[in-house]
Amino acid sequence: MRESTQRREIFEYPLDAVRELVLNAVIHRKYNSPVDIQIKIFDKKITIFNPGDLYGNITVEDLQRDDYQASARNKLIVEAFFLTGNVEKYGTGYQRIRKAIEDYPTMKYACRETQGGFWVELAYEKQKETFDNIEIVTEKDTESVVKTVDENNTENNTENLTDRQKVIIKEIKRVPHITSEELSDIVGITADNIRVNLSKLKAKGFIERIGPSKGGYWKVIKSP
C-alpha cells in the first residue's frame, strides 16, 4: 500500500489526553471553592489544577491502574457530560490518557494532590515531527536540529508552506530583528513552535540566519 503524500499534522500534545484532563478538572472540582480551575501552558508542558482533592477512597496510585473503582463528587455534572457524549464510560478517563500518550515517546504524565486540590502535568523533553522531506527534532534546550531525510529531493515548493509560515516570513521581512517570542504573540503558537517553523523555512531556502543566535537576525531570501 502506498503511503499518502499529503501533509500530516502532528499535534504537540495528544488531544485525547488534554481533553480528558480538562474534562476531569471540570467534573471533579469542588464547586463551593472560590478557587478557579487553572490551566497553564508552557513551552514544553501543560499543567492543570482544580480545587478539590480526589473523591472517595481513590489515591494517586489507584489512578495508575486500570481496575480502580471510580466515584463522583458531582454526579449530575458527570451525567450531563455522559448524555452529551463527552464522557464515553465512567471511570476510564485515565486509561484513555495513558493510551493517548503512548504515541508520544518522551511525553510524561504526572499528578498529585496539593493545596486542597488536584494538579496534573503533561510534559515532554523532545518532540519529533516529520514533514515533507525534512525531519525536525526539538531538543530540550529549545534548539531545533534539522536534517534532510531525502538528499536527492531538493525542490522547495511554496505550496508546501503553511499559512503560519507565510505570516512568519511577512513579519521577518517587516522587522528583521523580530524575536521568536514576538512572533509567538503574532502567530499564536509557542516560541518553541516558532523556532521549529524557522528551521523549516531555513531548510526550504526561504530565510537565512545573519549573525549569532543572540544578537543576529533573520533575512528573507525569497518570498512565497
pLDDT tens column, 8-20: 556 888 888 999 9
Q: What is the pLDDT of residue 36?
A: 93
Alpha carbons 52 and 115: distance in angstroms, whole number: 9
Residue-range domain boundaries for the chain:
15-123, 127-220
Q: What is the pLDDT of residue 156?
A: 45
Q: What is the pLDDT of residue 158?
A: 54
Kindly report, residue by residue over 81-124, the tens digit of the pLDDT: 888 877 766 667 788 888 888 888 888 999 999 888 999 999 98
Helix (H) / strand (E) containing 192: helix 191-203
Q: Return the residue matching grid coordinates 504524565.
A: 109
Please answer whether residues 25 and 33 qualify as being in contact, where contact means their C-beta atoms are separated by less than 8 angstroms. no
Q: What is the pLDDT of residue 9?
A: 59
Q: What is the pLDDT of residue 57?
A: 82
Q: What is the pLDDT of residue 206?
A: 92
Q: What is the pLDDT of residue 150?
A: 40
* Phi/psi of residue 111, nearest 5 degrees: -150, 155
Residues of the chain with pLDDT under 70: 1-10, 88-91, 127-159
Q: What is the pLDDT of residue 130?
A: 43
Task: Give the CATH number of domain 15-123.
Answer: 3.30.565.60
CATH architecture of 127-220: Orthogonal Bundle (1.10)
Q: What is the pLDDT of residue 151?
A: 40
Q: What is the pLDDT of residue 83?
A: 86
Q: What is the pLDDT of residue 128?
A: 52
